């Protein structure tokens, strides 16, 4: 059972070709005095050029190029910008599991720069929409860099919920398999589901405190009437965490139930084998006793054979009746 269904791609050739054809220079949009710059997986040269253009700290460039950066918010109030690192779940088809896709954002009074380490499709779609729809771009950019960042994060968290739905659907399927007698085949499925839930929790857990910090520091880039918008993003992260907690309990319960079903089935098998062993034991004893190379009463007579044979049947029926009386069968 695969961890997650493959996300359908548009017809743009092979995946490798799509990666090669990505632009290596940042795309830039400007409207209403606000600039949005976006680039997937920026190079060191591009990051340094942007840092020189906007006056970013050199440590921020190192954080952008770092591959193991934890979510955080750095507020450079004196320099007039905000730097943030956020993580979002991305399905990696090569290893067939969820990985953390990093989004580095720089927010200034008149600009927003988004530099994801991998392609985050909600951000790409929003940027293309702003690029193609001039009226939408003017309307969105006129509300400031803080509101534009909210739209980016809102689309990213909306994208998280379908992944949760897929995990929930998988847990429902595993529950049906457990109770339909396919418990042996769902052990791997339960293990994969646990791995996905753990990976998702590792992404979201540090994100919760980071988003609360972002909510406090982003206020100076938001108009007064829009200050409550980032509270919606925090609520989305909390809902995701609550769902993951629920899924964690469900998958642990499924694992326990599946182990109980397997154990019960093994006990049934062992019970049947034990009955066969106990039933055959007296029969083996009788045949071994009368099979000794000595003469006994009735030796070499037909009535002795039928007497021994009848005794064996009586022992067999007696043992089976006793097991039935004890409800062991």
Q: Provide the terminal-to-terminal Cα distance of the chain, rounded to the nearest Å.
A: 37
145 & 85 share domain = yes
User: What is the pLDDT, as a whole number, of residue 93?
Assistant: 76
Q: Mean pLDDT in the chain?
A: 83
Establish if 7 belongs to a structural domain: no
* Sheet strands (E) in the chain: 27-31, 34-38, 72-76, 81-92, 97-108, 111-116
Of 203, 269, 248, 222, nearest in space to 70 by CA: 203
Establish if 104 belongs to a structural domain: yes
Contacts of 168 (CB under 8 A, 6+ apart): 243, 247
- Among 261, 276, 298, the domain boundary falls at 261
Rounded Cα gap, residues 239 and 245, in angstroms: 10
291 & 199 share domain = no
Bigger pLDDT: 170 vs 182: 170
Rounded Cα gap, residues 211 and 71, in angstroms: 9
Q: Which domain holds residue 28?
A: 18-261
CATH code: domain of residue 144: 3.30.460.20
User: What is the pLDDT, as a whole number, of residue 13?
Assistant: 37
Establish if 202 belongs to a structural domain: yes
Winning range, highest mean pLDDT, from 150-164, 212-226, 256-270, 313-327: 150-164
Cβ atoms of residues 58 and 143 within 8 Å: no
User: What is the pLDDT, as a whole number, of residue 14?
Assistant: 35
Model pLDDT for residues 154-178, shown as the tens digit of each residue? 999 999 999 899 999 989 888 888 7
- Among 219, 240, 261, the domain boundary falls at 261
User: What is the pLDDT, as a whole number, of residue 148?
Assistant: 93
| pLDDT band at 179; cut points 50, 70, 90 | confident
144 & 271 share domain = no
Establish if 231 belongs to a structural domain: yes
What is the total count of domains within the chain? 2
Establish if 13 belongs to a structural domain: no
Residue 4 has pLDDT above 50, yes or no: no
Rounded to 5°, the CA angle 323-324-327 comes to 90
115 & 187 share domain = yes
127 & 276 share domain = no
Residue 291 has pLDDT above 50, yes or no: yes
254 & 292 share domain = no
26 & 158 share domain = yes
218 & 160 share domain = yes
Establish if 12 belongs to a structural domain: no
- Among 213, 234, 261, the domain boundary falls at 261
Establish if 4 belongs to a structural domain: no
281 & 178 share domain = no
Establish if 10 belongs to a structural domain: no
Rounded Cα gap, residues 328 and 230, in angstroms: 64
Rounded Cα gap, residues 114 and 103, in angstroms: 7
Rounded Cα gap, residues 230 and 241, in angstroms: 17
Could you tell me the two tokens for 44?
């060191």
Other beta carbons within 10 angstroms of residue 283's beta carbon come to 15
201 & 319 share domain = no
User: What is the pLDDT, as a whole number, of residue 20?
Assistant: 37
178 & 272 share domain = no
64 & 149 share domain = yes
């Amino acid at each position: 059972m695969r961890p997650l269904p493959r996300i359908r791609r548009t017809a743009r050739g092979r995946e490798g070709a799509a990666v090669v054809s990505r632009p290596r220079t940042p795309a830039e949009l400007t409207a209403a005095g606000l600039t949005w710059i976006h680039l997937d997986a920026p190079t060191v040269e591009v990051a340094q050029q942007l840092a020189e253009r906007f006056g970013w700290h050199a440590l921020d460039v190192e954080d952008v190029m770092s591959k193991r950066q934890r979510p955080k918010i750095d507020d450079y109030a004196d320099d007039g910008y905000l730097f943030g690192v956020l993580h979002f779940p991305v399905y990696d088809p090569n290893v067939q599991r969820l990985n953390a896709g990093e989004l580095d954002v720089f927010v200034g009074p008149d600009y927003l720069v988004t530099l994801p380490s991998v392609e985050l499709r909600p951000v790409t779609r929003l940027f293309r929409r702003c690029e193609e729809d001039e009226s939408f771009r003017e309307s969105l950019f006129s509300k400031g860099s803080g509101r534009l960042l909210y739209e980016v994060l809102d689309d990213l968290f909306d994208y998280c919920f379908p992944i949760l739905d897929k995990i929930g659907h998988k847990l429902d399927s595993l529950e049906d398999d457990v109770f339909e007698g396919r418990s042996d085949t769902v052990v791997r499925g339960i293990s994969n589901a646990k791995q996905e839930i753990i990976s998702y929790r590792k992404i979201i857990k540090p994100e919760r405190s980071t988003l609360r910090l972002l909510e406090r520091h982003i206020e100076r880039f938001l108009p007064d009437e829009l200050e409550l918008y980032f509270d919606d993003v925090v609520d989305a992260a909390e809902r995701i965490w609550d769902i993951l907690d629920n899924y964690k309990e469900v998958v642990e319960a499924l694992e326990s139930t599946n182990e109980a079903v397997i154990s019960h089935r093994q006990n049934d098998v062992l019970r049947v084998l034990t009955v066969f062993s106990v039933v055959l034991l007296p029969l083996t004893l009788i045949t071994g006793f009368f099979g000794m190379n000595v003469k006994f009463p009735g030796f070499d007579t037909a009535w002795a054979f039928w007497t021994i044979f009848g005794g064996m049947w009586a022992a067999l029926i007696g043992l089976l009746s006793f097991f039935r009386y004890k409800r062991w069968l």
